[in-house]
Chain A
Amino acid sequence: MTLLGDVARWFADPAHYQGSDAVQTRLLEHAAVSGLAVLTGLLVALPIGLYLGHTGRFGFIAVNVANIGRAIPSLAAIALAIPIAGTLLGVQNGLGFWPTFLALIPLAIPPILTNAYVAVRGVDRDVIEAGRGMGLGEAAVLRVIELPLALPLILAGIRTAAVNVVATATLGALVAFGGLGRYIVDGLALQEYDRLFAGALLVALLAIAVEVAFGTFERAAVSPGIRVQQGAL
């Protein structure tokens, strides 16, 4: 019980809402690097996934990107980003924001790319043929038929990417980045369990909030026709 009391006092302490180590600053850092990484991953992975899914080409690669992505441990991704950021952007950028950002992008790409590919590929061929037969061009087939029908899976891919990225951004603290991982890493180093626990709680809540927010958005964005279809199956 004393720990939880300490944690509650930690949250109540106004000192933790001031300066560069303020909760809101750390939260913002965490959210910003995660958001930028997911956005960058989205810009790279979504067009490729949609294109591959629409044409049906290079399916083997599209599917295996996800497996490769899963095999790279998040700690290794962060670690490897240090020399990469150092080489690409100069040694002074080998720590902090850049390695964290660079390490998160390849974590965001696989689920988005693979889900987009699988989702578009999985659209009923008869529906697509009916569309082509009625005179929809390739771009219209993608926009009118494939995208709306693939949307639930595409959004699920973005959600997976976002949750992974938010989780791994915690490790950015190891390479001198801020974010909520700071509290955990510093709490561990200083053996301050209230700070450690508070940081862990914040990270966990952020990840769950991202998951829940995306889940809610997915349900709202999916056509009622598809919901009916799934309910009917």
Chain B
Amino acid sequence: MTEGEPLIRWDWIASHLDEFAFRLGEHVELTVIAVSVGFIIAFGLSLLILRAPRTEAPITWVTGTLYTIPSLALFALLIPYTGLTVLTAEIGLVSYTLLILLRNIVRGIRGVPAEVREAAVGMGYSPREILWRIELPLALAVIIAGVRLATISTIGLVTVTSLIGQGGFGFLILIGIQRFFTTELIVGAVLSVALAIVADALLVLLQRRLTPWTRAT
């Protein structure tokens, strides 16, 4: 920060809109890949937990430990092996989504009332049909709540990947810090928060579309 310079230089912002659009694309791409891959893995692990409850403790322990390791440290531990690449960033980002997604998928499915499940069994649904037609639709609200949490936290963590050469809006923040240029730093932070809010709102809309019965009252 230099004395006498305004906190925000609007002319700089106006002349860099192209770069913001590029960083937005990068940020969204990193986020979407991380949450999608994370969801697929978490879904598989959830089915495993539901089928074999004994696996719950070790799976929760591993994903919980991954979740506890600070993001920068996790990236740093991977760098010697996978370098300053998208792969390093995604391995880290995916690791962080697992616990959140897994917890919500399992909780959502376990939260399906026993009498509903019993009625389905009584009407002759097969276990597979119960999962896809009864349990998953009813668990959807809780599952999407998990996706929202995972998405918001991933959008925040993507900024940290700027330190390993990726980063979307995080890139603006990092350059801002390194150059003591508050305008760029604030723009990066604000855009990242804005993206999180927009993504969250979109997921809320999606949830309302998919689970109309939760609005019955």
A/B contact in complex, CB under 8 angstroms? yes
A residues in contact (CB < 8 Å) with B: 3, 67, 70-80, 82-83, 86, 91, 94, 163, 166-168, 170-171, 174-175, 181, 184-185, 187-188, 193, 196-197, 199-201, 203-204, 207-208, 211
The distance in angstroms between the C-alpha atoms of A196 and B73, with both chains bound, is 9
Q: Do residues A75 and B70 form an inter-chain contact, with CB atoms below 8 A?
A: no
Residue pairs across A and B with Cβ atoms less than 8 A apart, 22 shown, are A70-B156, A71-B156, A73-B156, A73-B158, A73-B196, A74-B71, A75-B159, A75-B173, A75-B174, A79-B186, A79-B188, A167-B69, A167-B72, A167-B73, A174-B174, A174-B177, A188-B163, A188-B164, A193-B80, A201-B73, A201-B77, A208-B65
The distance in angstroms between the C-alpha atoms of A71 and B200, with both chains bound, is 9
Chain B residue at smallest Cβ distance from A71: B196
Interface size class of B (residues with CB under 8 A): 35 or more
Chain B residue at smallest Cβ distance from A3: B80
The distance in angstroms between the C-alpha atoms of A166 and B160, with both chains bound, is 15
B97 at the interface (CB under 8 A from A): no
B residues in contact (CB < 8 Å) with A: 1, 3, 7, 65, 68-77, 79-80, 149, 152-153, 155-160, 162-164, 170, 173-174, 176-177, 180, 182, 185-186, 188-189, 192-193, 196-197, 200
Q: Do residues A197 and B160 form an inter-chain contact, with CB atoms below 8 A?
A: no
Chain B residue at smallest Cβ distance from A175: B177
Residues in A whose Cβ lies below 8 Å from that of B70: 166-168, 170, 203-204, 207
Q: Do residues B189 and A82 form an inter-chain contact, with CB atoms below 8 A?
A: no
Q: Do residues A94 and B1 form an inter-chain contact, with CB atoms below 8 A?
A: yes
Q: With contacts defined as CB atoms under 8 Å apart, how many contacts are there between chain A and chain B in the complex? A: 135
Q: Which 3 A-B pairs have the closest CB atoms?
A: A167-B70, A76-B189, A73-B156
Q: Which of A79, A196, A201, A211 contacts B173 (CB 8 A)?
A: A79
The distance in angstroms between the C-alpha atoms of A200 and B152, with both chains bound, is 24
Q: Which of B65, B73, B159, B189 contacts A203 (CB 8 A)?
A: B73
Q: Given A91-B3, A174-B174, A174-B177, are A73 and B73 neighbors across the interface (CB < 8 Å)?
A: no
Q: Do residues B200 and A82 form an inter-chain contact, with CB atoms below 8 A?
A: no
Q: Given A91-B3, A94-B1, A208-B68, are A83 and B74 neighbors across the interface (CB < 8 Å)?
A: no
Residues in A whose Cβ lies below 8 Å from that of B79: 188, 193, 196-197
Q: Given A170-B73, A208-B69, are A76 and B173 neighbors across the interface (CB < 8 Å)?
A: yes
